[in-house]
């Protein structure tokens, strides 16, 4: 399996778009498609690359990436090279049935991820992604931005990784502040609750900041004194 770092993605995806700071909609769509093509059967090589990638993708693009990885029998989390714990033919049932099972089966995530740990890591990553369209992220695609007009752009799309927080033993308050600082906390998962959207009466799956903070703290409670994140989830693939 190919592994990709920041330099690989810059070379293979961003190089053709270095002549201007403002992407067109078509260029932004091409970048998103190229990233999906690169990572749907590949692997992010390191944590810094996964954090950097957040500047180039939206929650919707990330969902598409997870779907494509699953079709290629890979865990939805881009840093993983393992298959989902429970492989299932995505075409063997109707979309309605799949949606029902995903919303009501507490272990549905195992059909998309290798473990609960990577499911949680993926959730935490996704809720931090900005919904700003890629073409509106001025200059974010430039490899060598000599103008450096607004460093707050990089700060705006900066995110944290759950595995890093656990490894660094972040305090409960630090974790809570990160979660509460996320602007969008709507995820489709096997462990969300239904709420009614007052604008159109539609039912949505919503994970609250309190929920995310709680399950992050639960991971901390069972953490070893000298954790090895990779070894931990490989030993407990359930």
User: Is residue 47 very low, low, confident or very high in pLDDT (cuts 50, 70, 90)?
Assistant: very high
* Annotated domain spans of the chain: 3-235
Q: Distance between CA 103 and CA 73 in Å, rounded?
A: 21
Whether residue 53 has pLDDT greater than 90 = yes
Alpha helices in the chain (DSSP H): 6-9, 25-39, 47-53, 59-71, 95-104, 116-128, 152-156, 162-167, 172-180, 209-221, 229-235
Tokens of 169: 């033993």
Contacts of 48 (CB under 8 A, 6+ apart): 5, 6
Q: Which of 37, 100, 96 is nearest to 71 (CA)?
A: 37
pLDDT score for 156? 84
Q: What is the homologous superfamily of the domain 3-235 according to CATH?
A: Rtr1/RPAP2 domain (1.25.40.820)
> Mean per-residue pLDDT for 81-98?
68
Average pLDDT taken over every residue of the chain: 75
Give residue 66's pLDDT band: very low, low, confident or very high (50, 70, 90): very high
Any alpha helices (H) in 57-208, and if so which ranges? Answer: 59-71, 95-104, 116-128, 152-156, 162-167, 172-180
CB atoms within 10 A of CB 27: 16
| Average pLDDT of the residues in 4-26 | 95
The average pLDDT across 114-118 equals 90
**pTM score, two decimals?**
0.71
> Could you tell me whether strands 43-44 and 193-196 are parallel, antiparallel, or unpaired per DSSP bridges?
unpaired
Q: What is the pLDDT of residues 121-156, one digit of tens each?
A: 999 999 999 999 999 998 899 998 766 555 667 788
- 177-225 tens-digit pLDDT: 666 655 444 444 434 433 334 334 333 333 445 555 555 555 543 444 4
Which SS3 state, helix, strand or coil, does residue 196 take? strand
Q: Are strands 203-206 and 193-196 parallel, antiparallel or unpaired?
A: antiparallel
Cβ–Cβ < 8 Å for 182, 209: yes
Would you state the pLDDT for residue 232?
A: 43
Place of tokens 């752009």: 153
Confidence of residue 88 (pLDDT cuts 50, 70, 90): low
Asked if residue 231 has pLDDT above 90, the reply is no
């Amino acid at each position: 399996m190919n592994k990709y770092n920041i330099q690989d993605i810059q070379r293979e995806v961003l190089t053709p778009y270095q002549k201007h700071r403002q992407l067109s909609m078509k260029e932004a769509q091409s970048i998103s498609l190229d990233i999906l093509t690169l990572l749907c059967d590949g692997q992010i090589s390191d944590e810094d690359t996964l954090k950097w990638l957040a500047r180039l993708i939206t929650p919707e693009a990330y969902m598409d990436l997870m779907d494509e990885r699953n079709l290629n029998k890979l865990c939805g989390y881009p840093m993983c090279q393992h298959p989902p714990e429970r492989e299932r033919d995505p075409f063997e049932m109707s979309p309605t049935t799949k949606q029902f099972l995903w919303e009501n089966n507490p272990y549905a995530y195992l059909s998309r991820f290798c473990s609960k740990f990577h499911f949680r890591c993926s959730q935490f990553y996704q809720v931090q992604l900005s919904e700003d369209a890629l073409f509106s992220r001025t200059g974010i695609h430039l490899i060598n931005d000599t103008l450096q007009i607004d460093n707050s752009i990089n700060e705006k799309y900066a995110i944290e990784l759950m595995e890093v927080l656990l490894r660094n033993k972040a305090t409960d308050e630090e974790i809570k502040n990160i979660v509460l600082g996320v602007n969008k906390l709507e995820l489709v998962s096997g462990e969300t609750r239904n709420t009614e959207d007052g604008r159109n009466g539609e039912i949505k799956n919503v994970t609250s900041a309190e929920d995310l903070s709680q399950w992050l703290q639960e991971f901390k409670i069972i953490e070893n004194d000298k954790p090895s994140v990779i070894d931990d989830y490989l030993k407990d693939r359930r």
